[in-house]
Amino acid sequence: MTEVRLGAATATRIEESYEPNFDAKVFFPDWTPDVVREHGSWMIPNHYDEASGWLKLSIHSWLLRVGGKTILIDTCVGNHKSRKHRPKWDMMNTPYLDRLKAAGVTPDQIDMVMCTHLHVDHVGWNTRLDDGRWVPTFKNAQYVWSQEDFDFYKTLDADPQKGPANGGSFRDSVLPVVEAGLAKMVKGAAELEDGLRVTPAPGHTPGTIRIEFESKGEKALFCGDILHHAVQIYRPEWNSFACLDQDNARKSRRAAIEYCAGSGALLMPCHFGAPFHCHIDHKGSGFAPRFAASF
């Protein structure tokens, strides 16, 4: 179990899956074999599967404990959900909640759930199946995400030519939370409690947010899909196939990288391979990851 100290807080990685799951050439349109020749020494085997040519991406949440509060950041794909557009994610049945319990927390003890954006692999455990209905998994939590993302996907979901939005996850993993009265949507930048700040980072989705955290002078940036893979630290201009607004995705990625390199903030992604988080250093005119230790 990966656990990171952040001042007076701890952040624990709660894994859903970690495997080769996307063809690198499809995931990154700019990918070439030169990337492996240049970066293979650190990418293989934790970040890239050489035999298949697939990226090895983790899907996990971060469990942040600070000031007596328990906060879950991004909630993966979820169990028992029809995701025909992504066969590896279709009708999953993982021990995610058992791993949460092993970290010392039950669903009822979560005080806040934060979603960096509303894509299928960041909202799944927002809900669970109960007697044929999707109900909030974390019934005592306040769920925080951007108003911009919600409005965008609500419109998309209502369009019979384009919906259901995000492979159905808007309907089974977002709307039930809103209907239960547990959603707190933020618009623009927002100061939350316990050293948390939400900053808009549009591009991957219209309402993507980055979550900045500080405790006793130590900083962290929970980036969601602003960066999917550590190679993007070397190549900030690289977008994934899933970035909706290419120009703004690059701007938001560059801003996140510069923030971490300039402030010393620890980058806490949702998809990087082991060791799953890193510092970022300036390297010449660019940047390089410095993978962090955990305890």
The residue segments making up the domain with residue 44 are: 3-291
Domain count, the chain: 1
Q: Give the closest residue to 128 by CA, choosing from 139, 141, 142, 120.
A: 139
Tens digits of residue pLDDT in 30-81: 999 999 999 999 999 999 999 999 999 999 999 999 999 999 999 999 999 9
Q: Does residue 139 register a pLDDT over 90?
A: yes
Q: Does residue 295 register a pLDDT over 50?
A: no
What is the distance between the alpha carbons of residues 146 and 116, in angstroms, rounded to a whole number? 8
Tens digits of residue pLDDT in 71-101: 999 999 999 999 999 999 999 999 999 999 9
Q: What is the CATH number of the domain that holds 226?
A: 3.60.15.10
